[in-house]
Structures are given as structure tokens and as C-alpha cells.
Chain A
Amino acid sequence: MENNGRRKFLGVCLAGASAAAAAAAVYPVFRYLAPRSDQQGSNKVEFAESDLPAGEAKFFEYAGSSAVLVKTSAGAVVALSAVCTHLGCIVQWEKDKQDFLCPCHAGRYTPDGTVVSGPPPRPLAKIPVSVANGKITVG
């Protein structure tokens, strides 16, 4: 009985030490491979207002993802995520139709990101944008 108790105690100690060693080996590997938060791109992007004529769109990298800036024919400036809410493809601006088309499964969005047709379940995510002194500031 005493022997069994000692054997069990040593077994538990060995299992604990092995688990600690495994964790000590796995943690650095996880940290090494994990995406880095400081490399997610800038959270504030500026453009000159003159770079974006009415009816045009400008694609750019924002916070580690793709975004798009649109100036509608009416002159309103909108910033949206360019990632389609269906399966994550990047939407394309159709200047002649003044809408966004996702080339993967033909999802269509209006210039303010609302779904017009196709499979996307949600509108394109909006990004805060302001225009002042001839500068467009996203974020």
C-alpha cells in the first residue's frame, strides 16, 4: 500500500514535470509563430482630397487589411472595408455602374456598402473618415 502510494506520487510528479517541460517548449514556439500585433499596419491614413475625384474609388491597406475610399457622384466621401462579407474576397469598384462587385460570387454593394444582390450576408464594414482642409483622414 505504502509502495503504491509512493509509486503514484512519483508518477504524478513525473507527469507534472513532463507537462511543465512540454509547456516550456510549446509556449516559445507559439509566440514565435503567432502574428505580431505591431505589424497590423497603420490605424490612421491620410490622403489629399484632390487625389480622389468624384465617382472614383481608391484601395489601400488599413490596419492589416484592405480598405477602399469612395467619393460618390454627389461628392460624399465613404471609407469601407474592401473585404466581401461572403467569403472574404476583395471587392472591385465598377466605375460605370457606380457600385462594388465581388468577383468571387457576384455579390454587389452600393457605394456606401449596402448589399444590392448576391450572397453577401452583411454590408461592407464602415471605417470612420473625415475631410478637413483638403485632407481625407481615415481612422
Chain B
Amino acid sequence: MALIKRLYNWLDLRIGAKEIVEQELTGYLLPRNINEWYSLGSVLLVIFTLQVVTGLLLLVYYVPDAEKAFKSVTYIMNELPYGWLIRLCHAVGSNMMVAVLIMHMLSTLFMKSYKSPRELNWLTGFLLFTLVQGISLTGYLLPWSQLSFWATTVATNSAAAIPVVGPYLVEFLRGSKLVGPATLGRFFALHVGVIPAVIAGLIGAHLFCLKRTGISTPPFGDQVETGSHWNPEHYRYESHPGGIPFFPNYALQDLTSIGVYFAVFLAVVFFAPNLLFTPDAFIPANAFQTPAHIKPEWYFLANYQTLKIFPSELLGLSVQAAAMTFLALLPFIDRSPERNPFKRPLFLVCFFGGFLLWVGLSVWGHYS
């Protein structure tokens, strides 16, 4: 311990470590009524880091070539020591990332943390959500199995409904008329290079907004601060005098949430490894044989079902685009200063109604 203290003092003399700790950890005060839902951002940071690490490890042996991709994934899964563990952590982790991101967004919606002055936090978060869906979609093709090949065919085909440019857009996305080796090349580049870099940048922007605006106060529990005290004339950091310090108090909550996440995540990896794989995931891609009942990933099932229930694909796409735009611009549409959801019955109905609609469409899409 004495050695650690000496090292800490040595660092402090050179880079002012104590000042940083005081400013960012022990002196960084959070609202006293903060709850566990606020720790989902930290859980997401851990998941993203784990995805980067496992992704880099998979890159060591994965071959992005239509002739060799499936074989290289099979080699990782069946022959390399612990290859199955690293690949499953990556595959399960991507689904978990979407699930936790949805929970993070739902809690932000429910506690109204998206309201002024946090429009940019919401927008960067929303962009992160669409990019995480994008990185999941592009990664889905890489094993080059029947499942990944045909799910990508179905997913990319949706863009054909856009008038005039639709068919060309599909061809541009795929790099060829049908999904093929050209698609694998561009999806690989997007999955391992472009999208992760943009996600990392947006995470930085999201955290920057969080630090500059200050953390929001939950609209319920002890010491509730209702209504917005933000004055649109001047920049103001929302401080929480008399609040609880981030370290050690809330860091412990972050660790607890990360622990709970790992329990669920590892339970799936070790006890239900095939939860996310259908039998088509174990057959190499065959461009001449479409398997029956190809479905997209669970988080695209609602979109998939929406396209099916509308008489024209264009209408289905437009409805989805309108819903996504509405969600993205919500902080600019919902201007009411009231943040307590229990004092806004219309909001509560929309929130639960919208969530149930999404779940209903997903279940319907799964069984349709």
C-alpha cells in the first residue's frame, strides 16, 4: 500500500493527479436521488470495450474472403483453444449491446433526461443507437453462413422500396446486384473500420455533452427538483451541491450493474450458447438455395413486420422513417418543462403504448 501511495504522490507531483481525482471522481457530485438506471451508460462502455477486444482477437484468424470466411469461423469455433468463447462473447455481446442500449434510451425517455438543455446528449445517443444497429447488421454477414447471407439479402433488399434511387441504392450497398463477395468486402470494412471509429467519436461527443451539461436529476425520489431551472439565455452547468460523490459511492453502483450484466451475459454464453443461432448459422452460404423462414435479428423484427403489414413497402418504410425521425427530434418537439412522468398521463400512455407496440410487432414478426 505504501508503494502505491508513493507512486500516487510521484504522479501527483508531475501531472497533478490529486486535482484530477478531486475534480472528476471524489468531488464530482451527483444528485442524491440518483438511481441504478443511470449506470447503464457505464455498462455500455464496458460492453463496447469488450466488443472491440473480442473483435480484434477474432480478426487474428478471421479471413474476409467469401471462399474462406465460413471455414475460418468454423476453425475459430471448433479448433482454436477458447475460440468458441471469444466468438460467442462477441456474438452475444452485440445482442446485449443493443438490448442495454434500448434500456438506456427507455430510462432516459421515462425520466425525461432528454429535455433542454440535453438535446445534444439525446441526439448523439440516438445516432449511437442507429450505428450500433448498423454495426450489428454488417457484422451479421461476416460468418458467411446461410443465416447471415440470406438475412443480409432480406435486410438490404428493403432499401429497394425507396422511389427512383431504391434499386441502385441496394446495388450500391451490396457492391453487386445480389449479395456476394463484393458485399462481404464492404461490410467487413464498415464493420471493423468505419463504424467503430464513428461510434468511438460519438461516444466521446456524448460524454463531452454529459460533462459540460452536468448529470440530470431524476424527476422522482428524495429531493426532487421538478421543472427545468435551465435559463436558455446563458450556459449553465447543472451542479449538485450536497450530492453524493461519484467515487466511491456511485462507482460502486456502476460496478454492481456491470456485475449483474456479466452474470446475465456469461449465463447466455455458457448455458444457452445457441440461443442466437438457428441451424442455418451452421451451414455455409449458398447463393442458389434460400432457406425457409429467414428472419432478421430480434431487434429488426418490428421493422420487418411493419414492412409486411403495410400494403406497399414504401408506405412501411415511410412509417418507420417518420417514427425514427420523431424519436430523434423528440427533445425539440416535447418542450414542456414538466419532467415527472406521473404528472404527464399522455406521455405515459405514449411511452408504454409505443413500447408495447414495438414488443408486439417483434413477437408477431417472430411467429409470422
Instruction: Specify the chain A residue showing the minimal Cβ separation from B86.
Output: A32
Instruction: Check if A34 is an interface residue, CB within 8 A of chain B.
Output: yes
> Nearest chain B CB to A23's CB is how many angstroms away?
13
Across-interface contacts of B86 in A (CB, < 8 A): 28-29, 32
> Nearest chain B CB to A83's CB is how many angstroms away?
25
Instruction: Check if A22 is an interface residue, CB within 8 A of chain B.
Output: no
Instruction: Check if B85 is an interface residue, CB within 8 A of chain A.
Output: yes
Across-interface contacts of A31 in B (CB, < 8 A): 81-82
Main secondary structure of the interface of B (DSSP, over half): helix
B81 touches A29 (CB 8 A): no
Instruction: Specify the chain B residue showing the minimal Cβ separation from A29.
Output: B57
Across-interface contacts of B82 in A (CB, < 8 A): 28-29, 31-32
> Nearest chain B CB to A28's CB is how many angstroms away?
4
Instruction: Check if B341 is an interface residue, CB within 8 A of chain A.
Output: no
Instruction: Specify the chain B residue showing the minimal Cβ separation from A31.
Output: B81
Instruction: Check if A132 is an interface residue, CB within 8 A of chain B.
Output: no
Across-interface contacts of B83 in A (CB, < 8 A): 32
> Nearest chain B CB to A8's CB is how many angstroms away?
10
Across-interface contacts of B99 in A (CB, < 8 A): none
B60 touches A33 (CB 8 A): yes
Across-interface contacts of B81 in A (CB, < 8 A): 28, 31-32, 34
Instruction: Check if B102 is an interface residue, CB within 8 A of chain A.
Output: no
Q: Which residues of chain B from 83 to 104 have a CB within 8 Å of any chain A CB? A: 83, 85-86
- Taken together as a complex, chains A and B put the C-alpha atoms of A34 and B81 apart, in Å, by 9
Binary contact readout A27-48 vs B (1 if CB under 8 angstroms, 0 otherwise): 0110111101000000000000
Across-interface contacts of B356 in A (CB, < 8 A): none
- Among A28, A31, A34, A36, find the residue whose CB has the most chain B CB atoms closer than 10 A: A28
Instruction: Check if B80 is an interface residue, CB within 8 A of chain A.
Output: yes
- Among B57, B60, B82, B83, find the residue whose CB has the most chain A CB atoms closer than 10 A: B82
- Given A29-B57, A33-B57, 11 more A-B residue pairs with CB atoms under 8 Å apart are A28-B85, A31-B81, A31-B82, A32-B57, A32-B60, A32-B81, A32-B82, A32-B83, A33-B60, A34-B81, A36-B80
| 4 residue pairs, one from A and one from B, having the closest CB atoms | A28-B82, A31-B81, A32-B82, A31-B82
**20 residue pairs bridging A and B, Cβ less than 8 Å apart:** A28-B81, A28-B82, A28-B85, A28-B86, A29-B57, A29-B82, A29-B86, A31-B81, A31-B82, A32-B57, A32-B60, A32-B80, A32-B81, A32-B82, A32-B83, A32-B86, A33-B57, A33-B60, A34-B81, A36-B80
